[in-house]
Amino acid sequence: MDRAQKEKMVDELGQIFDSSGVVVVARYEGLTVAEMQDLRAQMSAAGGSVRVAKNKLAKIALEGKPCASIGDYLLGMTVLTYSEDPVAAAKIAEAYAKDNKKFVILGGAMGETALDVAGVKAVAAMPSRDELIASIVGCIGAPASNIAGAIGAPASNIAGILSTIEDKAAA
């Protein structure tokens, strides 16, 4: 890799560190190509990405970035998983680490907040952006359906009372 390619890689990594909601650093020693492709496919489906980069170039790209604290994790064979959604990359990385013992999460960063292994697990346990939106929509819609039910209830109650009176009068 010549100097121009290295500079381009540092710029790309810098953009990743700036724009990502979460970055997770993991060790991937021993993963097969098929396993790595599976990880990439799962991450892509969730809106995230996987990047293998030289640790030295990643450390240079981290200089002056909010997530510079993850530089300590960049030792050995490391891979970066990241996403704009602050939860997606952590969820996929955590799930993949449970299924594959060769993929070991070292830590990560969420903006300026450094995450250790427990922190990544905590972020992975949080609901995703889409789940939160669905929950909020459900909360907004629930009062409207309750009001509609309350408005319709008196009419059905009156109809029930009238039919009872009618039955008693006929008897």
For the chain, give every domain's residue range: 3-126, 127-171
Q: Which residue blocks in 46-87 are alpha helix, DSSP H?
A: 55-62
What DSSP designation does 100 have? -
Alpha-carbon distances of 67 from 19, 51, 112, rounded to whole Å = 11, 16, 5
Lowest mean pLDDT segment, chosen from 15-24, 84-93, 134-143, 148-157: 148-157
C-beta of residue 124 within 8 angstroms of C-beta of residue 88: no
3-126 folds as Alpha-Beta Plaits (3.30.70)
Between β-strands 104-110 and 78-83, what pairing exists: parallel, antiparallel or unpaired? unpaired
What confidence tens digit (pLDDT) does each residue in 65-82 have?
A: 888 888 889 988 999 999
Distance CA 93, CA 98 (A): 9
